[in-house]
Amino acid sequence: MSAPRPADPHPETTGTASPALLRDFYRTMLTARLLDEEAVALQRQGVFPAYVSLRGQEAAQVGSAAALDRDHDFAFPTYREMAVALALDVDMVGYLASHRALWHGGLYDPMRSRFAPINAVVGGPVPHAVGWALGERLRGDPGCAIAYFGDGASSEGDVHEAMNFAAVFAAPVVFFCQNNQWALSVPNDRQVAGGSIAARAAGYGMPGVTVDGNDVVAVHAAVREALERARSGAGPSVIEARTYRLGPHSTSDDPGRYRDPDEERRWRERDPIARLRAVLERDGHADTAFFEEAEREAGEQAIRIRDGVSSAPPPGGEEMFTHVYREPTEALRAQQRAWREEAEL
């Protein structure tokens, strides 16, 4: 696969970033795109039982992750934040192990990477992020949390309760909504009252910002500002990154049943990777050699990760009984004994 080329002859970004940072953004976003394609192929080949693509949301994820303080902050992802994991140097074979159903939450070290276990509950990462952030504030530590969720999750009660709790207690957390226009097959206008998720922040007494989620520079600047605000003790913020899911909701979904092809075409013309490439070319920050090298390195990394997760050994059956309870119950021990006896037959 070749990197997407820009359809817009006049690319724009909001804010500024150094040429070196822009090139880093491009490399990470491109690697995420190619790895995402490999993951979809693994699902089609039966290696993954299911997979959730991030195609089209690379700028929102990479830009937000790059703003984090890797020594102190913590990211709380859903099942779609593969590019966030990549940007935070998570062990990607361990990350994708969850999609292969080798281990719930992934086989990477969350504490080292500052990337919490994958959470497949809709809206689930949001209260977790608030709890962690409040702990940081009570300890007097400088860390901030970023909670990832989608436009569909914004309608969950857990998200509203977490926002209210965070605002009351001035928890240092950034609520980062990737509004990709579709809550599975339900469009924004059918499930987001008022048309804006960021506007809801006012009801909790916190700032809400809407940003172009396909502009990696704008996303990075907005998240950095929100983190600085939280770190200063001013409390939480809501950022709504407006982007688009270019692929299906998951590999079991058919967007052709509910989306207009013209809508998809318009958003493909705003592809975040092509857009960043156009900015780099226009401003003279990268040449053909850079793009060729970036594509070669990204492709090699994606293949290496693909092969690593494909060949990873499955866990032993005993792990079904591990970490269920801190102190195993007698009923659990009995189930484990019964399983062991059957396994040995």
- Catalytically active residues are 245, 249, 258
Tokens of 315: 């866990």
Q: How far apart are CA 249 and CA 150, in angstroms?
A: 11
CB atoms within 10 A of CB 5: 12
Residue 200 makes CB contacts below 8 A (sequence gap 6+) with 154, 160, 163, 194, 208, 238
Written as one string, the DSSP assignment of 173-230 is EEEEEEE-SEETTEEHHHH-GGG-SGGGGGGGTS-EEEEETT-HHHHHHHHHHHHHHH
Q: Which of 314, 309, 334 is nearest to 324 (CA)?
A: 334
Residue 180 makes CB contacts below 8 A (sequence gap 6+) with 56, 57, 150, 151, 213, 243, 244, 245
Q: Which of 106, 36, 104 is nearest to 306 (CA)?
A: 36
Residue 301 makes CB contacts below 8 A (sequence gap 6+) with 31, 34, 35
Give the side-chain half-sphere CA count within 13 A for 9. 0
Backbone angles phi, psi at 145, to 5 degrees: -105, 150
Q: How far apart are CA 181 and CA 160, in angstroms?
A: 19
Please report, as a single letter, which amino acid is at residue 134: L
